[in-house]
Homo-oligomer: A and B are copies of this chain.
Amino acid sequence: MYGPGKTPAQIAAIVRALLAHNTGPVLVTRVDAEAARAVLAEVPGGRYSPGARLLVWRPPPVSAFTVAVAAAGTSDGPVAEEALEVATAIGLAVDAVTDVGVAGIHRLLAETGRLREADAVIVVAGMEGALASAVGGLVACPVIAVPTSTGYGAGLEGVTALLAMHASCAAGITVVNIDSGFGAAMAAFRLAQVLRRRP
- A101, B103: Cα distance in complex, Å: 14
Known: A155-B167, A167-B153. A193 touches B103 (CB 8 A): no
Interface residue total, chain A, C-beta cutoff 8 A? 77
A8 within 8 A of B: no
**A90 → chain B closest CB, angstroms:** 10
Residue of B nearest to A153 (CB): B178
B140 touches A193 (CB 8 A): yes
**A97 → chain B closest CB, angstroms:** 14
**A152 → chain B closest CB, angstroms:** 7
A128 touches B169 (CB 8 A): yes
The segment from A32-40, A41-49, A182-190 that touches chain B is A182-190
Residue of B nearest to A29 (CB): B171
B194 touches A75 (CB 8 A): no
B129 touches A105 (CB 8 A): no
- A129, B191: Cα distance in complex, Å: 22
Residue of B nearest to A188 (CB): B172
- A169, B128: Cα distance in complex, Å: 6
Contact of A194 among B141, B164, B183 (CB under 8 A): B141
Contact of A136 among B103, B108, B143 (CB under 8 A): B103
Contact of A158 among B29, B153, B198 (CB under 8 A): B153
Which residues of A150-172 are within 8 A (CB) of B?
151-156, 158-164, 166-172
A159: chain B residues at CB < 8 Å are: 154, 156
Instruction: Point out residues on A near B: beta carbons under 8 Å.
Output: 2, 4-6, 29, 72-75, 77, 99, 101-105, 108-109, 119-120, 126-131, 133-134, 136-138, 140-144, 147, 149, 151-156, 158-164, 166-180, 182-183, 186-187, 189-191, 193-195, 198
